[in-house]
Amino acid sequence: MIADRTARRLRADGCPHRHALSPFPIRQTSYARTGGEVVEPTQQGNLSPSKQTATQGAGSPRKNAPYHGLSKEELVDMFRVIYTSRKLDDAEINLKRQQKIYFQISGAGHEAVLVAAARVLKPTYDWFYPYYRDRALCVGLGMTPVEVLAEAVGSSEDPNSGGRQMPAHWGHKDLNIVSQSSCTGTQMLQAAGAAQVARIMEAVEGLKERTDQYTGDEIVYVSIGDGATSEGEFWEAINTASNMKLPVMFMVEDNGYAISVPVSVQTAGGSISKACAGFENLFITEFDGCDPVESYAKLQEAADYIRSGKGPALIHAHVVRPYSHSMSDDEKLYKTDEEREVEAKRDPVTSYPAWLISEGIATEDEVAQVRAEVEATIRQAVDDALALPTPHPDTALDYVYSPDVDPTSADFETAPVYAEDAQETTMVDLINDALRTEMRRDPSIVVFGEDVADVTREELLGKVKGKGGVFKVTHRLQEEFGGARVFNSPLAEANIIGRAIGMATRGLKPVVEIQFYDYIWPAYMQLKNELSNIRWRSNNNFKAPVVVRVPIGGYLKGGAPYHSQSGVTLFTHVPGLRVVMPSNAEDANGLLRTAIRSDDPVMFLEHKHLYRQTYNKGRNPGPDYMIPFGKANIVQEGTDLTIVTYGALVERSRRAAKLHPDLSVEILDLRTLSPYDWDAISDSVKKTNKVIVAYEDNMSWGYGTEIATRIADELFEYLDGPVRRVAALDSFVAYHPDLEDRILPQIEDLADAIESLAKY
């Protein structure tokens, strides 16, 4: 294994980096907004470090000392980290040219502000959501050169991902560096959710004592390039963090380009800090990020603001990118020689050591010695990394799902315990009961989404009836558990899922609601590329077992195209997600409890048409009733043919079978769509020899197509007729009931299929 991680950490309170004077002025400002007022303004211009210290106000004791209190050793160590980061870039570039690694993207030019961030912030205490340029931050926090290169070579010993992700996709459990994906901007919302954890733990009695992930005044650091500020999730995260005064440090590393597209195309006015100036409670500072000393001072000021509880900070650091975007890019195609020469003058790998020498902080020999020591370390690290083992092919499926908790096992099969006076009630009521009893059992469960709370202003609890969701599924939960555990989100679906991922990563159990499946698409990036694979891509170092409740489906009479869709295939196609769709009240209660107690992300699909039907009512099965995933229910037994179905088509299949009293029809309710109960399907088909697969998705490319194909592939010798499908037309669902009835599968369609197949 790679060397002991505790010994690897460079320090307990951060890491050094500091200075390189810009050849052209960078407007340096710091200000915060509270209640619309701009407070604590400073404008320091392009001052030398000694002049800059004179302008600092009270606060950190470092601010009133030369070089902001940084000692010679710290200033020189900052160069060591800057140079280490750069030589790691260069080593990877050489390895890529030798075809010993498969991709390279550098952090060159960004090192100075990142070394400052590593010194201001605290590994193992604060939390980090970096992006691919943040090599120097990770080195500064304590990641060793061998660990960095282990990801480049794709080693199974790589602490970032175990060889599953590209280089510069950072993640280190011991250092609180949360696994990064390739998606730009998605980590912003996750950071906001992670920052909210402290707020929730403070408010919920007994919760913070149950975890070691709560520190009290931690900062959640998250970074992006200037191009990613164009992503909507950046604005959603800034808005939420500012509105809630969350302790987030938003770092924008502005090198002027998103690959080849300049900032003038990305941002109106050319300045993201200027564009964000209207957010209340947001501390904003803009400065030369190639200057590690000034970066340190600005970041310390921002960190003090955040730790004081005043709100988040936006760090707008002007940096350079002296290398191309990646080795797949050539910046000479879109940058002039003059522009590249100007950037080279600001490059901290050369300008900072020159400043150290000019200030008399270090001699030329001392700088040369640092370079020599770093180069020797990197040469050895390259050799060590190339000798590391690579992942065994048989591990490819490891950690797609939890290796520790198996929701398909007998551990999740419990008998119902009915009260003597238990009356039948609706699916809505029994889902509400499952949420309520689970929240009583586990204080880490939080429920949020659009309109899920009874009230937004808690002082109104008991004075008004309360909302509790548009379908009343979460009604009165806030009344019992308070606003820290049941709360409304902005009308922003990605915001819901992204924040839930951040919370779950730090030990909470979010059970969130997307108000209508039809509007889930803004969250799909978070669902597919973030939630589903965080365990797998981090090699089981991080997980996010979020439960996502989604009202779904048609048969509403007036639902129209945007309240009637049923695209379950979009979730069952994604490895890492469990997908559940109950057809009756008791199943909904037991399956939701399984979903909450499992250790994987679960899409819990609730058919809107079934919420308050009388035919699927059930009695309360008790606070520990669970149904294992992947276990179908035989709704009725038969011998002539089988209908495999789920959701709203279960009852329609039952009624269709009644229209053929001369036939013995077996109806199989899958209940969970991923995993699904192949053994039950196989046993039934072997018994009846004929099968219909009924599903509410469009006929083409729908969920039932997978089932039908597998039956034809693996059970062909048992079939006495074709595998029939009954599904929706390849259309949208219309508003008028006559059109909706024609588009969605009806009892008559199922009855016709039964009659036709029975004739074979």
For residue 402, give every residue at least 6 positions away whose Cβ sits within 8 Å of its Cβ, in sequence order, or none.
535, 543, 545, 598, 599, 600
CA distance 38 to 188: 25
Q: Which of 527, 519, 513 is nearest to 561 (CA)?
A: 519
Give burial (CB, 10 Å; 0-12/13-18/19+) of 156: middle
CA distance 545 to 112: 36
Q: Do 447 and 439 meet the contact criterion of CB atoms below 8 Å apart?
A: yes
CA distance 487 to 120: 33
Q: Cα angle vertex 474, ends 469, 476, to 5°?
A: 110
For residue 223, give every residue at least 6 positions away whose Cβ sits within 8 Å of its Cβ, in sequence order, or none.
129, 130, 131, 133, 134, 137, 250, 251, 252, 253
Three-state secondary-structure class, residue 424: coil
Q: Can you list the positions of beta strands (E) in 48-165? A: 127-129
Residue 325 annotated to the active site: no
Three-state secondary-structure class, residue 699: coil
CA distance 610 to 228: 42
Q: Which of 265, 276, 263 is nearest to 315 (CA)?
A: 276
What is the separation, in whole angstroms, between the first and last Cα of the chain?
63
CA distance 261 to 391: 37
Q: Cα angle vertex 254, ends 297, 20, to 5°?
A: 45
**Active-site hit among 68, 325, 475, 563:** 563
Q: Which of 165, 186, 248, 202 is nearest to 500 (CA)?
A: 186
Q: Do 180 and 129 meet the contact criterion of CB atoms below 8 Å apart?
A: yes
Q: Which residue has the tokens 């599903």?
A: 695
Tokens matching residue 567: 């695209």
CA distance 43 to 272: 17
Give burial (CB, 10 Å; 0-12/13-18/19+) of 541: buried
CA distance 118 to 717: 64
Residues with a catalytic annotation lie at 563
